[in-house]
Amino acid sequence: MRHNGSMKINGSIRIMALASSSLLAASSQAADNFVLVAHGGAGDYSKMTPPIIEARREGMVKAIRVGYAVLAGGGASLDAVEATIRELEDSGLYDAGRGAYYTKEGVPEMDAAIMDGRTLQAGSVASVKRIANPIHLARLVMEKTPHVLLVAEGAEEFAKSQGIELVSPYYFYNEREWKRFQDAQQAKQAGDGHGTVGVVALDKAGNLAAGTSTGGTVLKMPGRVGDSPIIGAGTYANNDSCAVSATGTGEFFMRNVVASDICARVRYLNVTVQQAAGDVVMKELVEQKGDGGVIVLDRRGNIATPFNTTGMMTAIVHGDGKIKLSGWSKNAEPVVVPAGP
Ligand code: ASP
């Protein structure tokens, strides 16, 4: 539904292509004193069909509106992060929740994490198979247990104790992912997966939060855990430095403790988030052939969204209510959609 630089989202809302991508570059927090940034996974978007890209953009807009409403109403960044990610998990359009990729055994195993930059409280879950919203369970681990990370059956038992219904693995069945799984199996390689979701937010009270949710990499070994639920690798938030959510081949992000490294650079080297994230993602990871990207936000509202893959779907919204979407290709012209009615 694209015509001459404009298109329709949800059949009714016009979004306009921006003349330049400069609006998405580093931006400072203005009078509208809250920010939410989301990603929908870094990877090779070149093989993704236009209808899927458009569906993902629409799914992203829907989710961002939910997070925006939380922040606009004076809600906490933690709540905005969770609410936005839940929506993305439910959309079935991304490698998270209902759209999670399958392991070698043909079932999804999901990881998620959430972190509060004000208190440094964090919670995560890994290798869960029967949880519709892993990000919510991660939040409960943070708030209702003395632990940070629960995995597999233990995490699911805990979920039951919290009144969360365990869903059947068929809940996660979808034709697209089944085909991706079969193609990858046939090719005997993981293919070009991308679609982890992550959100960082700054609320009106000046607090940061970060969250990430994923089905991991295509055809991963059962039991494999990526960077997303590892605090400091794929997810991190600290009011003293920044909030980060990462996406890409998790093993590189774990070995380089990417999220924590970026925040440590901001804190101790006193560099900007753009410099810190750029050095880690575009230099260090590139040297190691570690593919991926990050979204980073500091307390002043400065944003960095570097990625070293062909794409990383990204959305940014400030208090002015304009959602800026970009990243489905390196030179994608950003589009802007209103966050409110
Ligand atoms: N980082 C995720 C993982 O390795 C996957 C991704 O972001 O695409 O599990």
pLDDT tier at 194 (50, 70, 90 boundaries)?
confident
Query: Does 105 or 93 have the greater pLDDT score?
Result: 93
Model pLDDT, residue 162: 98
Model pLDDT, residue 193: 67
How far is the centre of ligand 1, averaged over its atoms, from the C-alpha of 219 (Å)?
12
Whether 235 contacts 211, CB under 8 Å: yes
Query: Does 245 or 194 have the greater pLDDT score?
Result: 245
Q: At what angle do helices 77-91 and 134-144 cross, to 10 degrees?
A: 150
Model pLDDT, residue 191: 56
Which residue, among 3, 9, 5, has the nearest Cα to 323 in the 3D structure? 9
What single letter denotes the amino acid at residue 267?
R
pLDDT mean across residues, the chain: 89
Three-class secondary structure of residue 300 per DSSP: coil
pLDDT tier at 249 (50, 70, 90 boundaries)?
very high
Tokens matching residue 95: 């490698």
pTM of the predicted model as reported, rounded to 2 decimal places = 0.90
Model pLDDT, residue 206: 97
Contacts of 204 (CB under 8 A, 6+ apart): 33, 34, 71, 74
Contacts of 132 (CB under 8 A, 6+ apart): 89, 90, 97, 98, 165, 167, 171
301-336 pLDDT, tens per residue? 999 999 999 999 999 999 999 999 999 988 889 999
136-146 pLDDT, tens per residue? 999 999 999 99
Q: Is 227 in the pocket of ligand 1 (CB under 6 A)?
A: yes
Model pLDDT, residue 184: 73
Model pLDDT, residue 192: 60
Strand-strand pairing, 208-214 and 235-237: unpaired
Whether 313 contacts 325, CB under 8 Å: yes
Sign of CA dihedral 182, 195, 149, 171: negative
Taking 70 as the threshold, does the pLDDT of residue 278 lie above it?
A: yes
In the 8-state DSSP scheme, what is residue 47?
G
How far is the centre of ligand 1, averaged over its atoms, from the C-alpha of 111 (Å)?
9
How far is the centre of ligand 1, averaged over its atoms, from the C-alpha of 56 (Å)?
17
Whether 222 contacts 103, CB under 8 Å: yes
- For the CA of 95, the closest atom of ligand 1 is 8
- For the CA of 226, the closest atom of ligand 1 is 9
Which residue, among 281, 265, 182, 266, has the nearest Cα to 227 in the 3D structure? 281
212-232 pLDDT, tens per residue? 999 999 889 999 999 999 999
